[in-house]
């Protein structure tokens, strides 16, 4: 026996009436009986289509300022009735409840209202009650009822009506029920998170209605999906689809560049900076950032906090890179950068990132506050007899911003607001320092007068000793080791300056 069911009746109650007209016209063509209420009913009547008021079915008016319209047994009975259940059919007849085969809903825009900065009372009024109940009821009874849970599915019902002439299969109805519970669960999550903003109940609820399937995950044999709306953060002007690994590097790049107010260029590779420089001219910032590690820059992610001009674009165009991010681009510069068809060119928008971070872990999820602490000169406590010079303080703060966004254990060496080298992701701080010194020497940096930043305290004095022997003049670190005095004493004995920030910046 065919599982196709014909739509003979429909209940329509929507907030967004855009693109609703073709649905109404098709339902009229198919002689579908339409029930509606409020503004949706008025919209249908203006189209010249017959519509039955829900109030005429329930014998109850819309009450409480529209808060109660469809919440009635004669509505929900018609949606939830099992068509193959004799008792249900008898009760429909006894209580004169009409069967409802199709429910079309679009909920009040709760999230948009919150995002608009509206007053609490306006936000509360945008918590949909009747609509969400209609969605759940129709989705539960998907064996007999078709549910269209939001404007995003309007085209689905148009296609179904046209393709199957008013009939639907069990597969159609079950797929739309899935969409319905996706919509309803997301809606409830948004409401919970609004109420939990101030209370901060330790419950993990995050939701995204749709995901963007990526070419693959971290490796080609892994599936990857991005949940979120990149268009809120970037405009993509050119290039191929952004990959999973691109996204990881882009996130790291965006968070790093946000630390700088001076004209700055940064080059990222595997979530770490391999080149950073701040200069008056952007082209100089680029050239000096590239000098930090021209080898690792190959295939990297480039980011700046200034408009990319023609002179800078010409220099950038000389190397292969995956992605460039900037607040804007001069037209002639854009022409240069677009020469390579796969280059991803992004314009970063003004966007406030969430203050929480999430990571799947074992059989659960880790949640923490994002590291929003950025040290200023006022946060620095001189631990040594020698005071850092003004230039050294500028470099120390510069280096500390980079070390904050590098994988632990990490050491950053900098001079004249240029990253000379870093040692990242090492199991010991000494190894990180040795890696940085070796790398700096490989690119012929003179470390005499340079500064060193560490993401965490030095457990022993060996790191400052190695740094001194390499020419490092000044050190910035959190402090807090029981052996801090050993490092302080060594610095005092060798005319080095060292400042404590009191804040650790581990990043794993």
Residues involved in catalysis: 140, 270
- Name the β-bridge partners of 419: 414
CB 7 within 8 A of CB 157: no
Q: How far apart are CA 437 and CA 412, in angstroms?
A: 9
CB 450 within 8 A of CB 443: no
CB 356 within 8 A of CB 369: yes
Residue that is written with structure tokens 């740094």 in the block? 467
Could you give the 3-state DSSP secondary structure of residue 427? coil
Q: How many CB atoms lie within 10 A of CB 276?
A: 30
Residue that is written with structure tokens 């009760």 in the block? 91
Pairing of strands 146-148, 102-106: parallel
Could you give the 3-state DSSP secondary structure of residue 300? strand
Give the DSSP H or E segment for 348. Answer: strand 344-348
Q: How far apart are CA 92 and CA 153, in angstroms?
A: 29
User: What DSSP character marks residue 471?
Assistant: T
Q: How far apart are CA 81 and CA 76, in angstroms?
A: 8
Q: How far apart are CA 127 and CA 107, in angstroms?
A: 8
* Nearest residue to 238 (alpha-carbon basis) of 307, 322, 305: 322
Q: How far apart are CA 135 and CA 335, in angstroms?
A: 50
């Amino acid at each position: 026996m065919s599982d196709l069911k014909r739509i003979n009746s429909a209940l329509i109650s929507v907030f967004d009436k855009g693109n609703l007209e073709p649905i109404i016209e098709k339902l009229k063509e198919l002689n579908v009986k339409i029930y509606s209420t409020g503004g949706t009913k008025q919209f249908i009547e203006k189209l010249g289509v017959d519509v039955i008021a829900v109030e005429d079915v329930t014998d109850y008016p819309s009450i409480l300022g529209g808060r109660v319209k469809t919440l009635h047994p004669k509505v929900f009975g018609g949606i939830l009735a099992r068509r193959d259940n004799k008792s249900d059919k008898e009760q429909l007849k006894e209580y004169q409840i009409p069967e409802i085969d199709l429910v079309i809903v679009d909920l009040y825009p709760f999230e948009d209202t919150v995002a608009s900065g509206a007053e609490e009372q306006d936000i509360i009024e945008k918590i949909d009650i009747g609509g969400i109940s209609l969605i759940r009821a129709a989705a539960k009874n998907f064996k007999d009822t078709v549910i269209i849970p939001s404007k995003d599915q309007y085209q689905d019902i148009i296609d179904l009506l046209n393709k199957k002439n008013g009939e639907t299969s069990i597969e159609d109805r079950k797929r739309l029920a899935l969409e319905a519970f996706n919509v309803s669960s997301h809606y409830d999550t948004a409401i919970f998170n609004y109420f939990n903003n101030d209370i901060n109940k330790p419950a993990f609820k995050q939701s995204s209605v749709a995901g963007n399937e990526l070419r693959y995950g971290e490796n080609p044999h892994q599936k990857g999906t991005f949940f979120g709306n990149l268009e809120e953060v970037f405009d993509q002007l050119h290039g191929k689809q952004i990959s999973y690994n691109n996204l990881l590097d882009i996130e790291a790049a965006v968070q790093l560049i946000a630390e700088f107010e001076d004209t700055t260029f940064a080059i990222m590779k595997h979530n770490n900076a391999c080149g950073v420089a701040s200069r008056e001219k952007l082209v100089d910032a680029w050239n000096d950032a590239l000098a930090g590690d021209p080898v690792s820059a190959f295939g990297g992610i480039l980011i700046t906090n200034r408009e990319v001009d023609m002179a800078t674009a010409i220099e950038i165009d000389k190397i292969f890179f995956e992605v460039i991010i900037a607040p804007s681009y001069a037209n002639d510069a854009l022409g240069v950068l677009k020469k390579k068809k796969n280059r991803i060119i992004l314009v970063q928008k003004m966007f406030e990132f969430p203050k929480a971070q999430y990571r799947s872990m074992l059989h659960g999820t880790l949640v923490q506050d994002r590291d929003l602490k950025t040290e200023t000169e006022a946060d620095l406590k001189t631990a040594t007899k020698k005071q850092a010079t003004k230039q050294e303080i500028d470099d120390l703060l510069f280096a500390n911003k980079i070390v904050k966004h590098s994988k632990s254990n990490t050491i950053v060496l900098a001079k004249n607001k240029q990253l000379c080298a870093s040692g990242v992701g090492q199991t010991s701080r000494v190894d990180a320092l040795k890696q940085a010194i070796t790398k700096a020497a490989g690119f012929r940096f003179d470390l005499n007068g340079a500064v060193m930043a560490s993401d965490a305290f030095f457990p022993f004095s060996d790191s400052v000793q190695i740094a001194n022997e390499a020419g490092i003049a000044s050190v910035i670190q959190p402090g807090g080791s029981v052996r801090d005095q050993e490092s302080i004493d060594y610095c005092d004995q060798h005319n080095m300056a060292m400042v404590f920030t009191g804040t650790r910046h581990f990043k794993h």
